[in-house]
């Protein structure tokens, strides 16, 4: 049976056509049982394509392909410089197809085309290039113990890595995952999110064109409880890397524990505090704070969703912040000045609206937004709540939408306590002109990333990941190489005396 074909027409003109099959062994194939599922345009809720739906059996076929490639044509069989060359070729092909991949991403996810092009897909290429550079810099160590022996530590690939990614940055999460894994010589079975499988499929064409051997990268579309769970439970996957909700992250860890104890890294949710001191540059703080929560329609695990403003500037801050939030352009992702498109799905739309309702019911003040935008699709007006009880649902839980709660604070010690009073610890931000205050505060915040006088800055070179229930391990930077490799210690006897 032939796999489905995806044929897209973009609202701003142009078309794209590629396979909607499972990408296994460098071929696009139908699911074993022939199943497919619909991909929906979140701007109007209409179906745009059908793609193959992987079952546990398909996952197994993909794992076998990945294992064979690891043993025969990748891993320690291919020198690092060669892996790096292939990654550079892939980055070049992504750059050559930037407009098309950005349009696919925008149509499938709902993010603005200009942002998909200028940020998401540009960063995809930058991340792949960054890890291409690491591929031949995997130097081991010689460890000094005593002169009778030589102790060598080398970093070897894990083997077959399962990777499960979310829908908020479909292409970028794909790059964050495959870059370090491939640089270190692993093979991959990656599952995209069921809401947004398309950009990865287009990039699979480019992986093949770049010349990666068959079976090195295998990408499947499918649902979490079936294909995702099959990856997490598989006995021949050596490591699983997951980005998504804390709830599912817990399931991944349990599945790893009850199967083969595969290594696990998790990048999970957040409810990140964003702190504005009275001495901050107000315009700068307002601009970055609006960006901090509303970028990507609030669908960022590191979104600055709890803003804390020092009491003496609170009224002034709020007046300007309201204005800034109201000025955000919500609408068609393919129109030039759009900043915010639709939420990704009906389910996410419903979840966010339920949070907004609960905020109203629990007595918070709705300053702006709180309603649907337009007549169709999953658009929500950027929403600001104040007078929020920190223990209410909107005060504590990750909303993952364009909804921010703003608190005021007076006392520094109390502020730190409140900012850290969360099960999460992914990110935080501090706005102040006083470098000592900013750094003292940054040091006291329980978060894997703290931004000072900015927000949402992510670079391939800089590690990213969570304290507390926001995750396990780090992505990006040199740190990610460690989670895609394992050290082997080799003890060599030079002239140690026989032990007995």
Residues with a catalytic annotation lie at: 267
Task: Tell which one of 224, 298, 342, 402 touches ligand ADP (CB under 6 A).
Answer: 224
Among 67-75, 162-170, 290-298, 482-490, which window interacts with ligand ADP (CB under 6 A)? 162-170
Using rule CB under 6 A, residue 352 touches ligand ADP = no
First CA to last CA distance, the chain:
66
To ligand ADP, the closest distance from the beta carbon of 437 in angstroms equals 36
Helices 122-134 and 170-183: crossing angle in degrees, nearest 10, is 10
Q: Which is nearer to ligand ADP, 174 or 339 (CB)?
A: 174
Q: Which is nearer to ligand ADP, 161 or 229 (CB)?
A: 229
**Interface mask toward ligand ADP for 383-422; x: CB under 6 A:** ----------------------------------------
Neighbours of 68 (CB within 10 A): 17
Instruction: Give the total of residues touching ligand ADP (CB under 6 A).
Output: 17
Can you tell me the distance from the alpha carbon of 28 to that of 454, in angstroms, rounded to the nearest whole number?
42
Among 34-42, 91-99, 164-172, 417-425, which window interacts with ligand ADP (CB under 6 A)? 164-172
DSSP-based three-state secondary structure for 243: strand
Residues 6+ apart with CB under 8 A from 484: 157, 158, 161, 180, 181, 183, 184, 186, 239
Can you tell me the distance from the alpha carbon of 198 to that of 47, in angstroms, rounded to the nearest whole number?
13
Neighbours of 117 (CB within 10 A): 17
**Interface mask toward ligand ADP for 183-222; x: CB under 6 A:** --------x-xx----------------------------
Can you tell me the distance from the alpha carbon of 237 to that of 232, in angstroms, rounded to the nearest whole number?
8
Q: Which is nearer to ligand ADP, 343 or 386 (CB)?
A: 343
According to DSSP, the β-strands at 149-157 and 141-143 are antiparallel
Sheet strands (E) in 257-327: 263-267, 273-276, 306-310
**Interface mask toward ligand ADP for 120-159; x: CB under 6 A:** ----------------------------------------
Using rule CB under 6 A, residue 51 touches ligand ADP = no
Using rule CB under 6 A, residue 265 touches ligand ADP = no
Please report, to the nearest 10 degrees, the dihedral formed by the alpha carbons of residues 53, 59, 60, 62 taken in order: 100
**Interface mask toward ligand ADP for 236-255; x: CB under 6 A:** --------xx--x--xx---
Output the six-digit token pair for 481.
């190489």
Instruction: Please tell me what DSSP assigns to residue 227.
Output: I
Using rule CB under 6 A, residue 229 touches ligand ADP = yes
To ligand ADP, the closest distance from the beta carbon of 270 in angstroms equals 13
Binding stretches for ligand ADP (CB under 6 A): 164-166, 191, 193-194, 223-225, 228-229, 232, 244-245, 248, 251-252
């Amino acid at each position: 049976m032939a796999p489905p074909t995806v044929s897209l027409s973009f609202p701003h003109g142009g078309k794209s056509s590629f396979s909607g099959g499972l990408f296994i062994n460098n071929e696009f194939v139908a699911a074993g049982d022939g199943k497919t599922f619909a991909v929906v345009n979140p701007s109007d809720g209409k179906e745009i394509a059908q793609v193959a739906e992987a079952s546990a059996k398909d996952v197994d076929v993909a794992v076998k392909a990945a294992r064979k490639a690891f043993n025969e044509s990748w891993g320690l069989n291919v020198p690092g410089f060669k892996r790096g060359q292939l990654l550079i070729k892939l980055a070049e092909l992504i750059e050559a197809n930037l407009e098309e991949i950005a349009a696919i991403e925008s149509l499938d996810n709902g993010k603005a085309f200009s942002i998909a092009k200028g940020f998401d897909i540009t960063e995809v290429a930058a991340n792949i290039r960054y890890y291409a550079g690491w591929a031949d810099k995997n130097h081991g160590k010689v460890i000094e113990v005593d002169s009778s022996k030589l102790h060598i530590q080398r970093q070897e690939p894990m083997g077959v890595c399962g990777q499960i990614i979310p829908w908020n940055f479909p292409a970028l999460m794909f790059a964050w995952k495959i870059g370090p894994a491939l640089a270190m010589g692993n093979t991959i079975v990656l599952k995209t999110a069921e809401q947004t499988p398309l950009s990865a499929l287009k990039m699979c064409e480019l992986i093949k064109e770049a010349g990666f051997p068959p079976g090195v990268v295998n990408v499947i579309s499918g649902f979490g409880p079936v294909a995702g769970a099959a990856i997490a439970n598989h006995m021949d996957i050596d490591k699983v890397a997951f980005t998504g909700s804390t709830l599912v992250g817990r399931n991944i860890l349990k599945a790893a524990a009850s199967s083969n104890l595969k290594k696990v890294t998790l990048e999970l949710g957040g409810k990140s505090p964003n702190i504005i001191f009275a001495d901050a540059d107000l315009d700068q703080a307002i601009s970055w704070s609006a960006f901090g929560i509303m970028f990507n329609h609030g669908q960022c695990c590191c979104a600055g969703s709890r803003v804390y403003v020092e009491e003496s500037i609170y009224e002034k801050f709020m007046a300007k912040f309201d204005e800034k939030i109201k000025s955000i352009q919500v609408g068609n992702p393919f129109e030039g000045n759009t900043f915010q498109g639709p939420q990704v799905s009906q389910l996410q739309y419903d979840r966010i609206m339920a949070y907004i309702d609960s905020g109203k019911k629990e007595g918070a003040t709705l300053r702006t937004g709180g309603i649907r935008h337009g007549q169709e699709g999953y658009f929500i007006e950027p929403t600001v709540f104040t007078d929020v009880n920190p223990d209410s649902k909107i005060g504590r839980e990750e909303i993952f939408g364009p909804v921010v709660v703003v608190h005021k604070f007076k006392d520094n010690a109390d502020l730190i306590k409140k900012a850290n009073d969360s099960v999460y610890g992914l990110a935080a931000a501090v706005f102040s002109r006083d470098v000592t205050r900013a750094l003292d505060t940054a040091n006291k915040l329980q978060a894997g990333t703290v931004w000072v006088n900015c927000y949402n800055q992510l670079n391939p070179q800089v590690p990213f990941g969570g304290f507390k229930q926001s995750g396990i391990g780090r992505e990006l930077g040199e740190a990610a190489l460690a989670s895609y490799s394992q050290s082997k210690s080799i003890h060599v006897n030079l002239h140690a005396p026989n032990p007995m």
